Amino acid sequence: MDAISVIRTKRDRGELSPEQIDWVIDAYTRGEVADEQMSALAMAILLNGMNRTEIARWTAAMIASGERMDFSSLSRPTADKHSTGGVGDKITLPLAPLVAACGAAVPQLSGRGLGHTGGTLDKLESIPGWRALLSNEEMLNVLDTTGAVICAAGDGLAPADKKLYALRDVTGTVEAIPLIASSIMSKKIAEGTGSLVLDVKVGSGAFMKNIADARELASTMVGLGTDHGVRTVALLTDMSTPLGLTAGNALEVRESVEVLAGGGPADVVELTVALAREMLDAAGIKDADPAKALADGSAMDVWRRMIAAQGGDPDATLPVAREQHVVTAPSSGVLTRLDAYGVGVAAWRLGAGRARKEDPVQAGAGVELHAKPGDTVTAGQPLLTLHTDTPEKFDYALKSLDGAYDIAAEGTAYEPTPVVLERIA
**75 assigned to some structural domain:** no
Question: Do residue 331 and residue 289 come from a single domain?
Answer: no
Strands 323-328 and 382-388, sheet pairing: antiparallel
CA of residue 85 relative to chain centroid, distance:
4
**67 assigned to some structural domain:** no
Question: Do residue 340 and residue 271 come from a single domain?
Answer: no
Helix axes 159-169 and 18-30, enclosed angle (nearest 10) = 80
Q: Given 255, 277, 309, which residue is the final one in a domain?
A: 309
131, 311 Cβ separation under 8 angstroms: yes
Q: Domain tally for the chain? A: 3
Question: Do residue 124 and residue 214 come from a single domain?
Answer: yes
Question: Do residue 139 and residue 205 come from a single domain?
Answer: yes
97, 303 Cβ separation under 8 angstroms: yes
**389 assigned to some structural domain:** yes
Q: Kindly list the distances between the CA atom of residue 263 and the CA atoms of 216, 276, 375, in Å, as whole numbers in the listed order.
A: 35, 17, 19
Q: Given 257, 275, 309, which residue is the final one in a domain?
A: 309
**298 assigned to some structural domain:** yes
AA letter at 299: A
Whole-angstrom distance, CA of residue 200 vs CA of residue 215: 8
Residue 187 is among the residues annotated as catalytic for this protein: yes
Annotated active-site residue in 10, 112, 116, 168? 168
CA atoms within 13 A on the CB side of 295: 5
Question: Do residue 225 and residue 360 come from a single domain?
Answer: no
* pLDDT given at position 23: 98
Q: Give, in degrees to the nearest 5, the angle at Cα 186 between 183 and 189.
A: 140
* pLDDT given at position 357: 67
**65 assigned to some structural domain:** no
**69 assigned to some structural domain:** no
Question: Do residue 336 and residue 303 come from a single domain?
Answer: no
Terminal Cα-to-Cα distance of the chain (whole angstroms): 38
> For the stretch 123-136, what's the b/e string if a residue is b when 16 or more beta carbons lie within 10 angstroms of its beta carbon?
bbbbbeebebebee
Give Rg (Cα) of the chain: 21
Question: Do residue 252 and residue 377 come from a single domain?
Answer: no
Residue 199: what are its φ and ψ, rounded to 5°? -105, 100
Question: Do residue 242 and residue 102 come from a single domain?
Answer: yes
Annotated active-site residue in 187, 215, 304, 393? 187
Question: Do residue 241 and residue 141 come from a single domain?
Answer: yes
Question: Do residue 170 and residue 250 come from a single domain?
Answer: yes
Give the CATH number, domain containing residue 33.
Answer: 1.20.970.10
Strands 231-238 and 382-388, sheet pairing: unpaired
Residue count of the chain, please give it: 425
Question: Do residue 189 and residue 220 come from a single domain?
Answer: yes
Give the CATH number, domain containing residue 278.
Answer: 3.40.1030.10
Annotated active-site residue in 81, 82, 188, 393? 82
Whole-angstrom distance, CA of residue 308 vs CA of residue 298: 16
Residue 168 is among the residues annotated as catalytic for this protein: yes
Q: Kindly list the distances between the CA atom of residue 272 and the CA atoms of 91, 226, 259, 264, 316, in Å, as whole numbers in the listed order.
A: 6, 24, 9, 11, 24
Whole-angstrom distance, CA of residue 347 vs CA of residue 344: 5
Question: Do residue 371 and residue 305 come from a single domain?
Answer: no
DSSP letter string, 265-312: -HHHHHHHHHHHHHHHHHTT--S--HHHHHHTSHHHHHHHHHHHHTT-
Give the CATH number, domain containing residue 355.
Answer: 3.90.1170.30
191, 69 Cβ separation under 8 angstroms: yes
245, 267 Cβ separation under 8 angstroms: no
What pTM value is reported for the model? 0.90
* pLDDT given at position 338: 98
Q: Kindly list the distances between the CA atom of residue 86 and the CA atoms of 24, 198, 240, 257, in Å, as whole numbers in the listed order.
A: 30, 13, 9, 19
Residue 405: what are its φ and ψ, rounded to 5°? -145, 155
Residue 68 is among the residues annotated as catalytic for this protein: no
Give the domain extent around 37.
3-49
Q: Kindly list the distances between the CA atom of residue 211 and the CA atoms of 152, 174, 202, in Å, as whole numbers in the listed order.
A: 30, 18, 6
Annotated active-site residue in 22, 161, 238, 339? 161
* pLDDT given at position 358: 73
Residue 183 is among the residues annotated as catalytic for this protein: yes
**344 assigned to some structural domain:** yes
* pLDDT given at position 157: 84
Per-residue pLDDT of the chain (425 residues; tens, 9 = 90+): 999 999 999 999 999 999 999 999 999 999 999 999 999 999 999 999 999 899 999 999 999 999 999 998 999 999 999 998 899 999 999 999 999 999 999 999 888 887 788 899 999 999 999 999 999 899 999 999 999 999 998 778 889 998 998 898 789 898 888 998 999 999 899 999 999 999 999 999 998 999 999 999 999 999 999 988 899 999 999 999 999 999 999 999 999 999 999 999 999 999 999 999 999 999 999 999 999 999 999 999 999 999 999 999 999 999 999 999 999 999 999 999 999 999 999 999 999 998 776 788 999 999 999 999 999 999 999 999 999 999 999 999 999 999 999 999 999 999 999 999 999 99
Annotated active-site residue in 39, 183, 256, 400? 183
**56 assigned to some structural domain:** no
Q: Kindly list the distances between the CA atom of residue 173 and the CA atoms of 39, 114, 167, 180, in Å, as whole numbers in the listed order.
A: 8, 10, 8, 9
